[in-house]
Amino acid sequence: MCGICGFNWDDKELVKRMTAILTHRGPDGGAVYRSRGISLGHRRLSIIDLSDAGRQPMTNEEGTVWVTFNGEIYNFKELRTMLEEKGHRFESNTDTEVIVHGYEEWGESIVEKFDGEFAFAIWDQKNKKLFLARDRLGIKPLYYYWDGSKFLFASEIKALLLEPSLKREVNLSAAYHYLNWRYVPGEETLFQGIKKMLPGYTLTVKGKELQLHQFWDVPMPRTLRDNNAVSRVKEELQESVQQRLMADVPVGVYLSGGIDSAAIVGLASQSTTEPVKTFSVGFDHSQKVDELQQARRVAEHFQTDHHEIVVDQAISEMLPSILWHLDVPHGDPVIIPQFKLSQLATKRVKVVLSGEGADELFAGYVQYKTFLKAQHLRKFPRFITKSVVRSIPTPILNAFFDYPASLGTKGKEKVVDFIHDLSQERKAYHDLTSITTTKDKQLLFSENFRTSIHPAKEIYYQQQREPLLDRLLYYDTKTWLPNYVLFINDRMTMAHSIEGRVPFLDHGLVEYAASLHPRLKMRGRTDKWVLRRAMKDILPRTITSAKKHAFFMPLDKWYKEELRSLAEQIFTPANVRHRGYFNYEYVKNIWEKYNSSKLIYGKQLFTLINFELWQRMFIDSEKIPLDNKVALKSLL
């Protein structure tokens, strides 16, 4: 992977500074290309063809097509053969050069031929056109700013912020999304005016015109009852893993002990003669789930070269650096073990494979079961179901919904909201997946904040997609997956100069999974049914039959040791009033009533703390640091 940046004018100092701030994404070299009307920057993480021939920005023989590229094109050898047959000559063994000559031959439609994860920008000198593209699922990031004449792009927002004319203002509607769901869906970011390139889109800037084009989407469901589904899923995943082992540097696998990462380890072990390097993270004080022990069993089964790390560092020491790498806050504390895991892996590999995407393909999340089980309640009047749910003991609700007992009183509030809104599917799904209830929204957010937000129109909850499960999977694939799951994966790996690859998100496998009948994904209480069957001859039965559980996080321990005191320090009445987002009494209520709903209040507090620290680092500061050595005390 690499870091890319650029803009549509010539400025030597700015492009050098933007490129430099992305050094962690590519420590193996950096270069820029400048000409009238264009500046391109690149930081290189050498993975394929480690020679100087792979240096970027890269051009064609005439110097009329220039590219800066982040990612991997796994079918580049086949495309290269096709291009050579058409007379194109190559000077390197890189996939980058295939983009250059492919654009010469096929123009903007080249993106439809790529199998891989990518974000790139092409400067077409002859047509004075800048062409950008982002891969189908959003594995690699790409951000841009456009004011009608000035256009900038980069792999990370911090590079864009180096442009002096770009004002640092909070996007209030995006902030509302983040504070409810811990991420921002769609093209908006928390920075006013800065947008994400959406997955599966291209963008063209020519003169004062900007055009966006969607070149791929998850196909409409076919509810296919394929008798060969088990073998087909196994074959597709096997091929994807083999492709993603391609590298001229050491490759490893992140191993959690669940079926997703275990499947990758098992298939990778079949594809190489050397022991697979595996990496796991955990907590030595974990009593609920021993993540390291489960991963260790898989590692022993496949005789991998296994390495572990325990998170025992104070989170206040890590948060500033993590936030710097994220650019925007994230409300899931999993960012902490992910950061440490990459810190471990970077000592031995430059590429890691991981299991992201399997839950969205094969229905692995608990909310899918909850939503499907609740459908028969839609025939009852809303006021009856709402009042009945309030009176039902929490243990009984938990037996039915697999949800609220661990969430305390807030869990029951969420279920009440959910059942009340069942006739409005999208709203009901948001009730399940947000960290705030209807009551929270009224009490937490100030009136001025609520009246200032203008959320974008919902475009991803597509009622025409049938059946219901496929509707939910599509929604998460378009929102949660790129902006939550893959975002964390990219930023925490690249923070330590590691390339992350995700075999489950080969677009051929994604398209096939989308075609399958829901019963092949979820059967009774068994999630990922077809994946479990596909792996039964490869993985130990303890893995294929194990119930999915969330990665254990010692949030309660962190709350008692650090988070509460940190929250009390930064959320003073004066500070909360100055920001204008929240009502102080509710913020204080979070730590005062924490014990009644530890999981939800803990998530809310972690989300709010990161939001405040992010503002102090990126919004309040006149300049962002050129490195990630930010101490918490400097933000307080």
| Nearest Cα residue to 483 out of 181, 232, 223 | 181
Same domain, yes or no: 378 and 352? no
Based on C-alpha coordinates, what's the Rg of the chain? 24
Please report the DSSP string for 79-123 in residue order.
HHHHHHHTT---SSS-SHHHHHHHHHHHGGGGGGG--EEEEEEEE
Q: At what angle do helices 366-373 and 394-401 cross, to 10 degrees?
A: 100
Same domain, yes or no: 347 and 431? no
- Cis, peptide link before residue 57, omega less than 30° from 0: yes
Determine, yes or no, domain membership for 436: yes
Catalytic residues: 2
| Contact call for residues 184 and 328 (beta carbons, < 8 A) | yes
Tell me if residue 479 falls in helix, strand or coil. Answer: coil
- Do the strands 38-44 and 2-7 form a parallel or antiparallel pair, or are they unpaired? antiparallel
Determine, yes or no, domain membership for 223: no
Tell me if residue 39 falls in helix, strand or coil. Answer: strand
Same domain, yes or no: 355 and 252? yes
Chain centre to alpha carbon of residue 62 = 38
Q: From start to end of 155-276, where are the E strands?
A: 194-196, 201-206, 209-214, 251-254
Same domain, yes or no: 55 and 163? yes
Question: Which tokens is 555 given?
Answer: 């949030």
Cα–Cα dist 360/513, whole Å? 10
pTM: 0.95
Cα–Cα dist 34/22, whole Å? 18
Same domain, yes or no: 350 and 382? no
**What are the per-10-residue average pLDDT scores of the chain (636 residues)?**
94 98 96 97 94 94 96 97 96 96 97 98 97 98 97 98 95 96 96 98 97 97 89 97 96 95 97 95 70 92 96 91 96 96 97 97 93 79 66 69 70 87 91 94 95 82 89 96 98 97 98 95 92 96 83 87 94 96 96 92 96 96 79 83
Q: What pLDDT is stored for residue 420 in this prediction?
A: 86
| Contact call for residues 491 and 323 (beta carbons, < 8 A) | no
The residue type at 15: V
> How crowded is the C-beta side of 125, counted as CA atoms within 13 Å?
16
Q: Which of 458, 487, 505 is the last residue of a domain?
A: 458
The residue type at 423: S
Rounded to 5 degrees, φ, ψ at 213 are -140, 130
Cα–Cα dist 589/6, whole Å? 46
Q: Which of 458, 486, 514 is the last residue of a domain?
A: 458
Q: For residue 520, what is the domain's CATH number? A: 3.40.50.620
- Do the strands 499-501 and 351-353 form a parallel or antiparallel pair, or are they unpaired? parallel
Determine, yes or no, domain membership for 224: no
Count of structural domains within the chain: 4
Determine, yes or no, domain membership for 391: yes
Does an H or E element contain 175, and which? helix 172-181
Determine, yes or no, domain membership for 254: yes
Same domain, yes or no: 440 and 484? no
What is the domain range of residue 478? 229-363+473-544
Determine, yes or no, domain membership for 550: no
Tell me if residue 488 falls in helix, strand or coil. Answer: helix
Q: For residue 90, what is the domain's CATH number? A: 3.60.20.10
Question: Which tokens is 402 given?
Answer: 């697999």
Q: What pLDDT is stored for residue 1 in this prediction?
A: 67
Q: What pLDDT is stored for residue 618 in this prediction?
A: 95
Same domain, yes or no: 616 and 559? yes
Determine, yes or no, domain membership for 549: no
Q: What pLDDT is stored for residue 479 in this prediction?
A: 96
Same domain, yes or no: 295 and 239? yes
Same domain, yes or no: 208 and 257? no
Other CB atoms closer than 10 Å to residue 595's CB: what's the count?
11
Same domain, yes or no: 26 and 125? yes
End-to-end CA distance of the chain: 34
Q: What pLDDT is stored for residue 289 in this prediction?
A: 60
Same domain, yes or no: 358 and 394? no
C-alpha distance from residue 473 to each of 122, 393, 397, 522, 544 (Å):
33, 31, 24, 12, 22
Opening angle at CA 15, ends 11 and 17, nearest 5: 120
Other CB atoms closer than 10 Å to residue 624's CB: what's the count?
19
Same domain, yes or no: 235 and 210? no
Determine, yes or no, domain membership for 515: yes
Q: Which of 393, 426, 458 is the last residue of a domain?
A: 458
Q: At what angle do helices 366-373 and 425-433 cross, to 10 degrees?
A: 140
